[in-house]
Structures are given as C-alpha cells and as structure tokens.
Structure 1
Amino acid sequence: MNNLPFSRLKELAKLFLKLGIIGFGGPVAHIAMMEDEVVKRRQWLTREHFLDLLGATNLIPGPNSTEMAIHVGYIYAGWLGLIVSGVCFILPAVIITGVFAWIYVNYGTLPQVAPLLYGIKPAVLAIIISALWGLAKKALKTRQLLLIALAVVILTLFGKLNEVIALLLGGLLGMLWLCRGNQSNFVIAALITGTVINTSVTTLSVPLWQLGWFFLKVGSVLFGSGYVLVAFLQGGLVQEYGWLTQQQLLDAIAIGQFTPGPLLSTATFIGYIIAGVPGSIVATLGIFLPSFFFVAALNPLIPRLRASAWTRAFLDAVNASAVALMVVTTIQLGIATLILAQVPYVDFLSLAIALFSTILALRFRINAAWLILGSALIGYGALFLGYLP
C-alpha cells in the first residue's frame, strides 16, 4: 500500500512530461491527447468522468489543458498528484521557452535573425485569427452575447478600459442581463461603469513584485483559450506599462506557438526579456499558480456551479468578452504587422503570408508550429531576393 502513491506519482510524471514535450497544436490537441491516454489507454477515468472534468475547466479561470492535467492528477493521486501532473505538463514548455528567450535576448537583434522574425509575425497574426474564429463561433451563441462583446470592444478600443476590468465587467453585465432579460439595466450599468472606472498606471521601473502581480492577476481572470492572454499582454505590458514593444510581443507569441505545451509559457519568455532569469521565474509562477489553487479549491463546488443559471450566464458573458478582447488585439497587431509608415503603406508580402496562413489554419487545420516554420523560411527567402521593408 505504501508504494501505491509513489507508483501513481511516477506514472503521472512520465505521462505528463511526455505530453508536455509532444503537446503541439494548442489546448484542443492537448485535451485530445489526454483523453486518449487516461481514458482509452490507461482507463484511469471513464469517458463520462473525463467530460465532466472538461466541463468544469470552463467554470474557472486558467488554461484549460493545464487544468485538465491538474484535475487528472488530483483524482488519480490526491494533492501530490495535483502538483506532479501540473508541474510535469508545464515544465518542458517553460524550459524550452526559457532557452529560446536567452537566444532571443542575445541574438534576436542580429540581421541573420531579423528575416526569420519578419516572416513569423504575419503567421502569428493568422494563428490568432484562426483561434478567434473558432472561439467566436462557440462564445457568441446569442444576440445578447454578441452585443456584450461589441460593448466590450468599444469600451476597450475607444474608452481605453483595462482588459481585466473589461472581462469582469462583461461577465457581470451579462449575468444581470441574461438572467433578468432587462436590456435597460445592461445599458445603464455599462454607461455608469464605463464612466467611473479608470485604471491607468504609468511607471518606468519594473520591480519583480509588480511583474509577478501582473501575471498573477492575468492568471486569475484568464477564462477560455490561452490566446486571450495576448489581449492582456497587449493592453498591460505594451500599452499601459510600456515594458514590452509591439515587436517583442509578436515574437513572444511566435515562440509560444513554436514550442509544445501550454501557450501561457509565453510568460516565461516575456519575464526573461523584461527582468532576466528572476523575471522569467516570477512571471511563470504568477501565470500558472492560480490554476492549481482554483482546481483544488473549487472542485467540490463544481456540481453546484454548473447547476446555477447565474453562473452559466456569467461564464457565457465572460467568454463573449474574452472574444471581444481578442478582436481588439487582433486589430492592433494587424496594424503593427501589415501597415508601413511610407508608400505603399501596406506590406504586401506580410499580407500574403497572413492570408495564406489563415487559409491553411482554418481550411486545412495545419498545425501552428508548421505555419511558424514555413513563414520563417519565407522570411529568409525574402532576404535573398532582396525584399525586406
């Protein structure tokens, strides 16, 4: 009996290290791999139980595939299993991303690397558009949710509302509107809240505690796909704090796409760029820690939450708001990637890469890693042909 927990922890470690290493393709691919391993091959869970856990991950913030790994570990081997499965699934992506961050900081500005990054940026834009399309079809299920998303787009794009506040505000307004069916309450609340909330902060220094606090906040409110992270990074690190440039953000997203495991390992890359090794550690802990606590604390409450009409309405509206934030970010990244400061004002090669990559992602479901690699090669080809703006 004493060996049983250790043997289970060893099994969890081997499985989730493997999935962390080969886990390309985003959360949907990760979850499909987990289902194959823990339901079909190992039979640790029934398919019904696995689907219950999958539904539960949509009720709490955090990356879905990482939380599924944590759920499986918790059920199979208790508290230690929760920690082992989550850490082993995250660790390969964090290590690989950290190595890329070191290479990027030391060699990323060299001319030999610039063409590669030139090709990658429009592919990243295409990957985000592809993810946005899939999420929008699921999240904007009703006219009310579409209107909530439009309101969040307007408040974020023109009202400069903080992304965290916009996400929570959309959820609260949706909960009131969808449950009570009163459109006037929604409009009045939106006007009042949009007027009163002002969360701008200006700073020139990057204290570690502030960097960690930023990623902890994001990890605590990040509903839905890891791609929603891009909206928070754009609004917080690029626009609000100015710790990151637009190009660095695009490069960070590209590295997150090119490496296996959860997309949130992008935080490791960004933390290293901003504050070196301590920054990468603080950012990684901040973004992932909330998932462990949410899974452990809310697991017993899941049946009650799923049964509540108010909670369902809140989560539906939060997902719609998350899509709205992604729309705003996609517009901003598109302008930064495709628009030139001089004639002809449009980078036609980048536009062609973005359009072709979008078609490959949406129509043929080509893995994001292949899109990134192919676009990087196009960037090098453009260098040899003498075309680089």
Structure 2
Amino acid sequence: MNEKMAAGRVPAHPSFAEAVKVWAKIGLLSFGGPAGQIALMHRELVEERRWISESRFLHALNYCMLLPGPEAQQLATYVGWLLHGTRGGVVAGTLFVIPGFFVILALSSAYALFQQTDWLVSLFYGLKAAVLAIVVEALVRLGRRALKTGFDRFLAVLAFLALFAFALPFPLVVIAAGLIGVLVTRHAPSLRAGRAKGERTPDLPSVIGADFAEAQPSWRRAATVIVLWGSLWVAPFVVISVLLDGANVYTDIGLFFSQMAVVTFGGAYAVLSYVAQQAVETYHWLKPGEMLDGLALAETTPGPLVLVLSFVGFMGAYRTPIGVDALTSGLFGAALATWVTFVPCFLWIFLGAPYIERLRANAALSGALSAISAAVAGVILNLAVWFGLHVLFDEVWRLDRGPLSIPYPNWPTLDAFALGLTIAAAALLLWWKRGIFQTLAICAAAGWLLRSF
C-alpha cells in the first residue's frame, strides 16, 4: 500500500485472494519465534496495509496471550477471521504453520538419516541476525504505541523483570496484569488518565477499525464450533483405532500432544523441559540431548517454535514403525503431532473471539486487556532479549541466587560477525528502507559466506 495515501481514507477491504497471498508471505517469513512473528504481522497488517488498526491488533493479541498454544499463529487466525470469516481464519492460521511444517519435516528426515545438524549453522547464521534486527525495530514501534502512560511503562517493566529475572510462569504474569488492570479501572482510574486526555496516538483509518462490524455470538454458533473443531481434534484417534489394535505409538503421540495443546501457555519454552523428560524417560522417543537438536531445527524454520513438537512426533514414530518403513512412519508421527497441537488453536479462536469482540466496550475487560497490552510489551522484550543473547553469544549462563534466575552472556564468546550482520540488517531496514524479504535474503547469503569461508 502506498504510504502517501491520504491519512483520512480507509483502505479498501482486501479480497480473499489478496489476503491469501499476504498470509502465505507471512508464513514464509515468520522467523524468530513469537517476538519476530508478531513484529512481522504488525508491520504487514497494521503499518503497511492498514488492514487492522493498532488498538484492534493489540486487543486481539491480548486475548491470544491468554490462550494455550502459539499466540502468533492464533493472532493470524483471529485477524483472518475478522477479515473473511471462518475461511479467512482457517487459511491465515494454516498458512502460518504449513511452510514451517514442511521445512521441519525435511530437516527431521535429514536428522534421522544422518544424525547431525552442523550443515544448518551456515545456512541460517545470517538469517537469525536479520530477524534480531526486525524484532528490535518492531519492539520499539510497538512500545511507542502501547506504552503511553507511566502506569503502562511500569507494568511493562514489571512483566519483563518477572520473566527475565525471576523466571515466573508466563500465565501468572499475564493473569496478574489483567487483574491489576481491572482493579485500577475500578478503583484508581486516574492512573490511566493519560489515555483519556489524548496522550495516546489515535488509530489511522483501517479496514478493521473502530467502526468495523462486530461479530454476533450465540449459543448455537458456539455449539457448532465445539462440535466441528472438537470432531476434527479427535478424528485421528478414530482412524487409528480402526486401523490399529491395542496400544501403539500413534495413540501415544496423539494423546500426549493433545495434553500439551491445552497447557502450552507461553509457547514452546514453557513445556520444553517436561516434553523432553517424557519423550526420553517415559516414551523413549528421543535420546538424551536430542531435544536440543530438535529445538535448533525449529528455531531455524519459519512458523511457531512449538513445531519442535513435530520433530518429537517424527522421531518417536520413526523409531517404532508399524506396518510401514521408518521414514513414512516418522512422517505420520509428525503430521499427527502437528494436527493435535494446532487444531485446538482454531477452536479457541473461533469459540472465544466473537465474545471478546463484543466485550470491547466493557470497562472492566477493556482495563484488563489494556493492562495486558502493556505487560505484553515486557513479555516481547523478554523474548527479544533471550533471542538476542543466543544470536550474539556462543555461551549464555544463568545466575540462580534465591528467587533470582537471570540469564547472562559469557562476554568473551561474543560473535563479532553476528553483531556486524545484525547492525547491517538494522541499516538495511531503517536507513536504506529495504523490505523484510530482501533484508533476510541479503543477510542469509552474507552469513553463509562468512561461516563457510
């Protein structure tokens, strides 16, 4: 969209075909975990195309932060649903996952066959540096819009410290922010008075703005959503029970990752240690240390980091094939793990989003989500710092002293080339105004040359 478009003009509603192209682009470029993915969507949907206003984007993001599962994929589903109904949400959420799923399939197959991932390092070395620059740029922009009062900034700092310095559970931080928002709205509204005085920058006219038609939730619709998506969720178990008798690896994979789908608050890192322990000690799907290899594979692919679960499903089925060769069994295992991980995400959005939309005018809920919005800035900062530490340093240690649990770098292991690529990526984005795809491509090629030669 032309940036010089008149400020008072609402962009044309995108066609479904146009939206599909954009969702495919986002799915292909969504590197860097949730921080990078949210940054990419903000740039594409809010800033460049104005398909959704700043406030509506944050409102949707706040709801997705409260849900189990990958918040960025759910945010794409939410916005797709607002634009084009159920089919829009399905396409947006699916295209967010499909590119990364096929990449993780290929990488998992190569890993199982060759048992090494060194060849990935050179390929994705520069890519990670570019993503770090994209994340920092978007974090600054998001912070300017979401943190308009001293109280907002205070909440953001508290959320960051709770996660970064004390390693508190992600759901606890988000829920606490929401409760604080409700209490402040009811008993100390002056703390948020800056917004009422016009301190907040007004939204630019957008397709999904303040006047966008609200959804009409109903019990009948909710029942339909539960039956449809619940049936899709359990469908693989019906197929497995028909084709296979008794206990088998596919049933174990389906049940285990279905459980993970309802407890993965805060993304993959929140349950990573538990999944690794169960996969190694209980199910014997992985050998010790292989979970870290799977995480490395997932970090180098587009899409949600929780795709690491697809790697676990692949390896579990690969090592215990039933009726097919090992590689085909691994593909089935990865597909099953991915299915039961992401189908529930559509259920949460299609069931809850209409009610969240209708409650936008509710003062208590608005206060809660507004406070969560401020805390989310701190959450994303924590993710960005974590990502930055692991991109720029070869070793990251953790200081555990009493309630404190602070990650810090081993300074002599600073990677000067990674730092240089990150600065170059920032210059490409901010100084030369290059697009995301061009920046990623240039840095990926530069990184491969540096690591290879």
Q: Unmatched 5+ residue regions in structure 2?
A: 1-13, 30-39, 65-70, 192-251, 278-289, 314-333, 396-409
- Hey, what does 1:187 align to over in structure 2? none
Stretch deviating more after TM superposition (207-216 or 62-71):
207-216
Checking the alignment, whether the CA contact within 8 Å between 2:139 and 2:380 is kept in structure 1 is yes
Q: In structure 2, do the counterparts of structure 1 residues 248 and 365 end up closer, same or farther at CA, with 3 Å as the change threshold?
A: farther
Rounded Cα–Cα distance in structure 2 between residues aligned with 1:330 and 1:168: 21
Q: Deviations over 1:219-254 (max 9, x none)?
A: xx7xxxxxxxxx6333x1446655796775565355
Q: Does 1:282 pair with 2:340?
A: yes
User: How many Å separate the matches in 2 of 1:242 and 1:368?
Assistant: 34
Structure 1 residues 92-123: Cα deviation after superposition (integer angstroms, max 9, x where no partner): 34332221111222336444432012222222
The one of 137, 159, 165 equivalent to 1:152 is: 159
Contact 1:179 1:310 in 2 (8 A): yes
Contact kept, 8 Å, 1:171 with 1:315, in 2: the verdict is yes
Instruction: Within 5 Å, give how 1:161-200 maps onto structure 2.
Output: 161-181=168-188
The equivalent of 1:69 in structure 2 is 80
- Asked whether the equivalents of residues 59 and 373 of structure 2 are also in contact (C-alpha less than 8 Å), the reply is no
Structure 1's 377 and 152: CA in aligned 2 closer, same or farther, altered over 3 A? same
Matches of 2:388 and 2:273, distance apart in 1:
16
In the superposition, the TM-score normalised over structure 1's length comes to 0.66
Note if 1:99 corresponds to 2:102.
yes
Query: Which secondary structure state, in structure 2, belongs to the residue aligned with residue 255 of structure 1?
Result: coil
SS in 2 for 1:281: helix
Are the counterparts in 1 of residues 76 and 96 from structure 2 also a CA contact under 8 Å? no
Name stretches of at least 5 consecutive residues in structure 1 with no aligned partner: 1-10, 37-46, 75-81, 185-205, 222-230, 257-262
Give the counterpart letter for 2:413 in structure 1. Answer: Y
Residues 213, 146 of structure 1: alpha-carbon distance in 2 compared, 3 angstrom cutoff: farther
Q: 1:281 to 1:181 in 2, by over 3 A?
A: same
- Which residue number in structure 1 is paired with residue 446 of structure 2? 378
Question: Are 2:29 and 1:26 aligned?
Answer: no
Residue 210 of structure 1 deviates from its aligned partner by: 4.7
- Which structure has the larger Rg over C-alpha atoms? 2
| Equivalent in 284, 291, 298 of residue 252 of structure 1 | 298
Q: One-letter code of the match for 2:161?
A: I
CA distance in 2 between partners of 1:156 and 1:351 (Å): 25
The within-5 A match list for 1:238-249 is 238=272, 241-242=275-276, 249=295
Structure-1 separation of matches of 2:271 and 2:426 = 26
Q: Which has the higher helix share?
A: 1
Does the 8 A contact of 2:46 with 2:54 survive in 1? Answer: no
> d(CA) in 2 for partners of 1:32 and 1:122?
23
| Matched-pair contact (CA < 8 Å) for 2:58–2:373 | no
Q: TM-score, normalised by structure 2?
A: 0.58
Q: Alignment partner for residue 267 of structure 2, among 219, 232, 256?
A: 232
8 Å Cα contact 1:124-1:254 kept in structure 2: no
Which structure 2 residues correspond to residues 342-381 of structure 1 after superposition, within 5 A? 344-364=412-432, 366-381=434-449
Q: Following TM superposition, by how much is the alpha carbon of 1:17 offset from its aligned partner in structure 2, in angstroms?
A: 3.7
Structure 1 position 165, deviation (Å):
1.6
> 2:347 and 2:442 mapped to 1: Cα distance?
34
Whole-angstrom CA distance in 2 between matches of 1:255 and 1:151: 31
Q: Is the Cα contact below 8 Å between 2:257 and 2:337 reproduced in 1?
A: yes
- Contact 1:16-1:88 within 8 A present in 2 as well: no
Q: Provide the rounded CA distance (Å) in 1 between the counterparts of 2:388 and 2:356.
A: 38
The alpha-carbon distance between structure 1 residues 88 and 308, as it changes in their structure 2 partners (threshold 3 A), is closer
Q: 1:360 deviation in Å?
A: 3.1
Work out whether residues 12 and 85 of structure 1, in 8 Å CA contact, stay in contact via their aligned partners in 2.
no
The CA distance in 2 between the partners of 1:140 and 1:325, in whole Å, is 13
> What SS does the corresponding residue of 2:148 show, helix, strand or coil?
coil
**Number of residues paired by the alignment?**
310
Partner of 1:141: 148
The superposition leaves residues 143-173 of structure 1 with CA deviations (integer Å, 9 ceiling, x where unpaired) of: 1111111112222223221112211111211
CA distance in 2, matches of 1:55, 1:338: 30
